[in-house]
Amino acid sequence: MNQKNRLIVFHPPSPDDASMFDAPLDISGSAPWVYVRNRFHAEGIELRTSYRTNDQELAGAEAVVFLNLPHELTGWVNRFKDRIAPLRGRRRANGGLFWKRCLDAGVTDRIALILFEPPVVQPETYNMAEHRRFTKVFTWSPHWQGKGPRYAPVVAPQQIVTRTPEEIAFEQRKLLCNFSGYKHSRHPQELYSAREHTIRYMEASHPDEFEHFGPGWSGEQWPSWRGTVPDKFTVYPRFRFGLCYENMRDEPGYITEKIIDCMAAGTVPVYWGCPEIAELVPVEAFVDKRQFKDDAEMVAYLRVMPAQQWQQMRKAGLEYVSSKIFSDSLGANALFNCLKRALDPAMLHA
């Protein structure tokens, strides 16, 4: 391929993400993947999803990047579910048999894997034997990054702040809200149950001061549930605080969009998850759930926080997510730098 036609193919987890790189080249918007695409394009490299790539183009790709381990490599149960999905009127959750397409195209010497999800969510993806199929494995985990040259660092995709949050007075906001799906795990570090415990506490003790949103819940079982919304940004400004529990606690390096989305929307996060969060995000911008012995103590603290202190925390969060420090450490620029460094042909084959 000549310089103008260099191609990197990304295989997203779902056909719903087939157009993740299709926005106009001059519009970054709030999508980190569009920012990454624009940065690569400026260097003569096109990013395209597997759903937009034919077999001939795939064979000539400079690299192929899987976003999460494909079902074809995660055991017979997932492979079976993937195959019967069309029979049940559903799309194949992991894009069908793209791994086989890569084998047929002869690109297995330049395939990378990004592990965004933690072991609580996708334990099957942390199988080192399967990692050996990939030339590079991107991970946020310092533990896995230390396992050899195959492993490279990555940060989670974070939004680019382009909108100013709605200004709603402190006194007119409800106390607390939550955005999450209804999920469970038996992993000892899971935070699904802790999130549910806080929701139950709010429903029992302060039902008029709390609402939560997300897929999979039942309004009959969870009275505070208000369904799903297309955009957190339009809901967060109605609340003083956002419940930002990661899916997994005490896992170094694991920080997702939850706390960033909350700050970007002008709401103060109540955070629990990454153990070194105070080294990554200004401590004056969030409430650390770990400092409280239980939900009652935490909620009591939130309820009596003065408006002036809350405004200072809100301001600190907005300034942080708009800063170069954020962009270069956790934001879209950091994501681009991680990918560019490890997908360089010389590094990819190192």
Q: Using 50, 70 and 90 to split pLDDT, how confident is the model at 27?
A: low
Task: State residue 320's pLDDT score.
Answer: 97
Q: Which SS3 state, helix, strand or coil, does residue 14 take?
A: coil
**How confident is the model at residue 138, as a pLDDT?**
97
Asked whether the beta carbons of 213 and 225 are under 8 A apart, the reply is yes
| DSSP code, position 26 | T
- Residue 250 to residues 34, 37, 120, 140, 192, Cα–Cα distance (Å): 31, 32, 12, 13, 14
Q: What per-residue confidence (pLDDT) applies to 76? A: 47
- pLDDT tens digits, 111-120: 999 999 999 9
Q: At 149, which amino acid appears? A: P
Question: Region 176-181: what's the mean pLDDT?
Answer: 97
In this prediction, residue 92 carries a pLDDT of 47
Residue type for position 52: R
From 6-20, 64-78, 142-156, 328-342, the region with the lowest mean pLDDT: 64-78
pLDDT tops 50 at residue 349: yes
51-85 pLDDT, tens digit each: 999 999 999 999 999 999 987 887 544 445 555 45
In the chain the domains, ranked by start, together with CATH numbers, are: 3-159+331-348 (3.40.50), 170-325 (3.40.50.11660)
pLDDT at position 13? 85
- Residue 103 CB contacts under 8 Å (≥ 6 apart), including other chains: none
Mean model confidence pLDDT for the chain: 90
Q: Which residue has the tokens 């395209």?
A: 48
Please report, as a single letter, which amino acid is at residue 253.
G
Grade residue 28 by pLDDT with cuts at 50, 70 and 90. low
pLDDT of residue 4 exceeding 90, the answer is no
- Of the candidates 115, 81, 79, 103, the one whose C-alpha atom is nearest the C-alpha of residue 251 is 115
